[in-house]
Amino acid sequence: MSARMKRREFITLLGGAAAAWPLAARAQQVPAKKMLRVGTVSGTPQSSPQWAAFLGRMAELGYQEGKTFVFDVVPAASEEEYETGYRTLVAREPDIIMATGVEIALKSAMAATRTLPIVMIAIDYDPFARGYVASLARPSGNVTGVFFQQIELAAKRIQLVKDAFPNMSAATMFWDRASADQWQASQNVAPKLGLRLFGIELREPPYDYERALGKAPADHRGMVIVATSVFFFRDRERIADFAFRHRIASMFVFREWVEAGGLLSYGPSISAQFVRVAEFVDRIARGAKPADLPIEQPTKFELVVNLKTARAIGIELPTAILLRADEVIE
């Protein structure tokens, strides 16, 4: 203490500091609420059912959009727009980034930031096999979330097609660059089950399904199997209507296609996974590190059948399939 400081000044200084301590302690105990900023780049609009499920769960967890929570969606009309979309998003300084669906989403998000937490839903690829995470149990880095086993499920759908239509020997499969692994897995298993597959790659959104079907041999046009990607999901009502108008049997990945009029679907509930991802976001917002949150995989898969569509297009499904179905839409 300086010799020039007077005794009264010293006592005043001590008194002021002592009075400030309880205020500081209270401020640390009850921090002011911060606006949580979550952002993503998406090929599907915010009104899509999976985003509605995510926002609904966030509300249940206490996040009020516009008051304590901001959800920033940068639209992407094609795969090429993801990279610039995530750079734009990171420049807006979100707290947490989401990378859902296609591989280019996670790749672009990781290129845009190595520090911000990234919560992924890896639908069309294996993040471990592609080297994005060190392991599923301990992902390391700044990435965690949910991983769909689409490669295994693609093979299972071919088996279900044969179970539903045992006499069918040929079918067409629609796929795109994002779902190439699903096409390869389906192509590998189909001959073993006595099914000849003709694959048609859709390349430039918006996809022309009429033209695509016209490329298939005539004897392959009685059944269409559709892989999943953000662009196919965005077109689910168009594709379901297309199959219905042509009176074609159809197999899809998610129930949303069947609810739109498709015939069959087999896979996990995509809405349930977006609900789960909201819980990841909440945990990270409360202080958890992505590296400490194991990547999860769906354990429940549902077979959904639209019996109304089957009757309308003149298809009779085996009783065994109807009994195995988790839901039959009548």
Tell me what pLDDT residue 22 has. 37
Tell me what pLDDT residue 84 has. 97
- The whole-angstrom separation of Cα 70 and Cα 111 is 23
Average pLDDT of the chain is 90
Question: Residue 182: is its pLDDT beyond 80?
Answer: yes
Tell me what pLDDT residue 67 has. 94
Tell me what pLDDT residue 34 has. 83
- The whole-angstrom separation of Cα 72 and Cα 40 is 6
pTM: 0.83
Question: Residue 268: is its pLDDT beyond 90?
Answer: yes
Instruction: Give the pLDDT mean for 298-326.
Output: 97
**Sign for the pseudo-dihedral over CA of 145, 150, 151, 155:** positive
Question: Residue 202: is its pLDDT beyond 70?
Answer: yes
In total, the chain counts a number of residues equal to 330
Q: In the chain, what are the helix, strand and coil shares in percent, each to the nearest 5?
A: 45, 20, 35
CB 299 within 8 A of CB 142: no
- The whole-angstrom separation of Cα 265 and Cα 255 is 6
Tell me what pLDDT residue 41 has. 98
Q: Summarize pLDDT for 208-234 with one digit per residue, the tens.
A: 999 999 999 999 999 999 999 989 999
Calculate the CA 8 to chain-centre distance. 67
Apex 105 CA angle, 104 and 106, nearest 5 = 95
Tell me what pLDDT residue 194 has. 97
Share of the chain above pLDDT 70, in %: 90
Burial class (CB in 10 A: 0-12, 13-18, 19+), 230: buried
Tell me what pLDDT residue 154 has. 93
Tell me what pLDDT residue 150 has. 84
Question: Residue 279: is its pLDDT beyond 90?
Answer: yes
Q: Summarize pLDDT for 119-163 with one digit per residue, the tens.
A: 999 988 899 999 999 999 999 899 999 998 888 899 999 999 999
Tell me what pLDDT residue 149 has. 85
Burial class (CB in 10 A: 0-12, 13-18, 19+), 274: buried
Q: Summarize pLDDT for 16-27 with one digit per residue, the tens.
A: 333 333 333 333
Question: Lowest-pLDDT range, 1-10, 240-249, 310-319?
Answer: 1-10
Residue closest to 133 by CA, chosen among 124, 146, 149: 146
Report the Cα–Cα distance between both ends of the chain, in Å, rounded: 86
Query: Residue 218 in 3-state DSSP?
Result: helix
CB 87 within 8 A of CB 64: no
Tell me what pLDDT residue 9 has. 37
Question: Residue 304: is its pLDDT beyond 80?
Answer: yes
Q: Sorting pLDDT into bands at 50, 70 and 90, what band is 11?
A: very low
- The whole-angstrom separation of Cα 125 and Cα 146 is 11
CB 209 within 8 A of CB 244: no
- The whole-angstrom separation of Cα 141 and Cα 110 is 10
Instruction: Give the pLDDT mean for 95-118.
Output: 97
Q: Sorting pLDDT into bands at 50, 70 and 90, what band is 59?
A: very high
Give the list of residues 6+ apart from residue 323 with CB closer than 8 angstroms, or none. none
The distance between the two most distant Cα atoms of the chain, rounded to a whole number of Å, is 102
Tell me what pLDDT residue 43 has. 93
Instruction: Give the pLDDT mean for 238-257.
Output: 97
Share of the chain above pLDDT 90, in %: 85
